[in-house]
Chains A and B, each alone.
Chain A
C-alpha cells in the first residue's frame, strides 16, 4: 500500500478528531450509564412485583409421605400441575385401543348433542353480533359519524358491551332469562357486538373518502353514502373479522355452560365435581378438533371470497 505523503491528502487537523473522539466516548459512556441504571431499576421493580405476587412465599405443604414441610410455593407447586394434567390423560393400550377410546368418550352421544348446541349458540350469537356491530360501526367511525353525540353514544355503548366479559354477561342473563342457551346467545352476542363494532369502525376509519364524496355530489343521503361509498370498500375486512369472531364465539360458547347458559360448559362442571378428570381431556379434544375444523373452513372460505372479489374487480 502506497503511503500518501502529499499534504493535500493528509488527515485533517488532529485536534478536531480528538475532540470528536472525546465527545463520542463521552456520549457512549453516558448512554451505557443510562442503560445500566435503567436495567437495575427494571430488575428491582421486577423482583418487588414478583414478591408482591407471592412468588417468593414460603408455606407449609404436605409432602408425598404425609409429613408437613416448609417449602417455596413455586417449585413445590409446579409438580402438582403435572400431576393434575397426568390425571386427565386416559389409559390407552394398543391391544384394547378401540375399547379404551370408547371408554374415554363414554358420554359421546350427550357430548355430540351439546357440541351441536354449542355451535348453534356461537352461530346465533355471531349473527346477532355482526348485525349490531355492523350497524353501530358507521356512527362509531370518526370520519363517518353523522354528528358528535351519535359518535359519543355509540362508542360508549360498544365499550360497555365489550368491557364486561361474556362469562359475566352470561351470569347476569342466566338470572334474567333463566337457565338455557338463550341466555348464552344474548351474552355472547352482546360481547361480540362490542368487539366487532370496534374492529369494524376502525376498518371504516381507514377507507378512501372519495367514493363517498362522489355519492354526496350526485345527491345521495348519508345512508346512500354509506351503502354505495363505504360498504363495498370494507366488505372483505368485515368478512374476515366475522369468521375470526365465529371461531372465538365457539370457544366462548363451549365455556359459558359453566354458569348454566347452555352448551358443553356444563359438562366441564360435572366432570370437575365428579373428579372424572379423563372427561376433561375428552372434552378438550372435542373442542380442539371443532375449532381446528372451523379455522380450516373459514380460511378456505375467506380465500374463496377474496378470490371472487379479485376476479370481479
Chain B
C-alpha cells in the first residue's frame, strides 16, 4: 500500500474513511455542548485553583486526624516530665 493508492481509495470511497458531513457536524456539536456544559458548571460552582489548593491542605489535616496521636513509649521521653523546668512550665 503506497500513499498514492491510499489517496486514490480515499477519493473513490470517501465515506469508508470518514463519516458523512451531517454525522460529523452532529458529533462535533455534541462534543462542543458537553465541553461547554462542563465549563459552565466549573464557573457556576465556583471551581478555582486556589479553592482546590486550600481544600487539599484541609484534606491533609482531616486525614492526619484519622491516625492515632503519638504517645510516648520510652522512659527517656517520659522522664522529661520530671525535669524541673518542664514541670514549672506545665503548672504555670
Contact = CB atoms under 8 A, between A and B. Distances in A.
A124 B56 contact: no
A127 B55 CA distance: 21
A177 B55 CA distance: 5
Interface string A152-177: 00000000000000000000110111
B44 A172 contact: no
A174 to B, nearest CB: 10
B47 to A, nearest CB: 6
A250 interface: no
B37 interface: yes
A180 interface: yes
A182 B46 contact: yes
A305 to B, nearest CB: 12
A181 interface: yes
A298 to B, nearest CB: 15
Given A123-B37, A127-B38, A176 B55 contact: yes
Nearest to B58: A176
A120 B62 contact: no
Contacts of A180: 45-46
B52 interface: yes
Interface in B18-60: 34, 37-38, 41, 44-47, 51-52, 55-56, 58-59
A195 interface: no
A142 B52 CA distance: 33
Contacts of B44: 120, 181
Contacts of A124: 38, 41, 45
B58 A175 contact: yes
Interface residues of B, number: 15
A90 B33 CA distance: 39
B45 A176 contact: no
Size class of the contact patch on chain A: 10 to 19
Given A172-B62, A182-B47, A177 B41 contact: no
Contacts of B37: 120, 123
Nearest to B34: A127
A185 interface: yes
A173 B51 CA distance: 12
A172 B51 CA distance: 15
Contacts of B59: 172-173, 176
Contacts of B51: 177-178, 182
A180 B41 CA distance: 12
A181 B43 CA distance: 11
A169 B18 CA distance: 44
Interface string A110-131: 0000000000110110010000
Contacts of A178: 51, 55
Nearest to B51: A177
A228 B52 CA distance: 35
A181 B59 CA distance: 17
A180 to B, nearest CB: 7
Interface of B: 34, 37-38, 41, 44-47, 51-52, 55-56, 58-59, 62
Interface of A: 120-121, 123-124, 127, 172-173, 175-178, 180-182, 185, 262
5 contacts: A120-B44, A123-B41, A127-B34, A176-B59, A178-B55
